[in-house]
């Protein structure tokens, strides 16, 4: 079955809004905002051997987990690109953060696969390696493609933290 372009655009728009609200909640440590985006039985899977790579289960547990992480490392997540169907979405993202004892922000770039249920995020599968240095594709033209870069922690599709309006998920 082929999806018509208008429906595909609406699907991508809906997923983009849901996922950016989720990441705005993560960035702000806003448990209530994250909870409005997450299915009660959400599961977040992590790539090993990252610290804390065990799956996190349940909306409240996951929201509190990200609030704790944000406070520890001053994290800001940016959605860089997205491909979506009604049932699932795949994104590229960047987490800007400050390693312990450092003053310079680093970029951890990764990808995540989301599934949905009842209009909420049901599962997240994360693919990245966290290091206390930038993890990026060698030579990739991030700035030219509208991705976030040092000093500009927002992208073409995920606006600056000062301009986002939390709670836009309906």
For 30-50, what is the mean pLDDT?
A: 95
pLDDT at 135: 94
Percent of the chain whose predicted confidence (pLDDT) is above 90:
79
Query: Locate tokens 């959400």: which residue?
Result: 42
pLDDT at 166: 39
For 115-143, what is the mean pLDDT?
A: 95
pLDDT at 6: 57
For 62-67, what is the mean pLDDT?
A: 97
Percent of the chain whose predicted confidence (pLDDT) is above 70:
89
Tell me the pLDDT of the chain averaged across its residues: 89
pLDDT band at 165 (very low <50, low <70, confident <90, very high): very low
> Which of these ranges, 105-109, 146-150, 166-170, has the smallest mean pLDDT?
166-170
E strand spans, the chain = 38-45, 56-57, 76-84, 88-97, 106-117, 120-127
pLDDT band at 161 (very low <50, low <70, confident <90, very high): low
Handedness of CA 1, 89, 62, 28 (dihedral sign): negative
Give the predicted TM-score (pTM) of the model. Answer: 0.88
pLDDT higher than 90, residue 15: yes
Q: Which residues contact 9 (CB under 8 A, 6 or more apart)?
A: none
For 17-35, what is the mean pLDDT?
A: 97
pLDDT at 7: 65
- Residue 41, helix vs strand vs coil: strand
pLDDT higher than 90, residue 51: no
């Amino acid at each position: 079955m082929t999806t018509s372009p208008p429906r595909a655009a609406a699907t991508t728009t809906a997923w983009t809004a849901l996922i950016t609200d989720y990441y705005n909640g993560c960035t702000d440590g806003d448990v209530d905002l994250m909870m409005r985006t997450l299915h009660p039985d959400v599961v977040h899977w992590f790539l090993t051997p990252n610290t804390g790579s065990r799956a996190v289960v349940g909306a409240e547990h996951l929201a509190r987990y990200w609030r704790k992480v944000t406070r520890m490392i001053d994290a800001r997540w940016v959605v860089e690109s997205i491909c979506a169907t009604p049932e699932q979405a795949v994104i590229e993202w960047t987490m800007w953060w400050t390693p312990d004892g450092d003053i310079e922000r680093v970029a951890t770039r990764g990808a995540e696969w989301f599934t949905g249920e009842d209009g909420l995020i049901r599962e997240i599968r994360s693919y990245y390696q966290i290091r206390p240095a930038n993890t990026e594709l060698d030579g990739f033209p991030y700035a030219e493609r509208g991705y976030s870069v040092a000093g500009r922690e927002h992208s073409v599709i995920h606006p600056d933290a000062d301009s986002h309006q939390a709670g836009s998920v309906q």
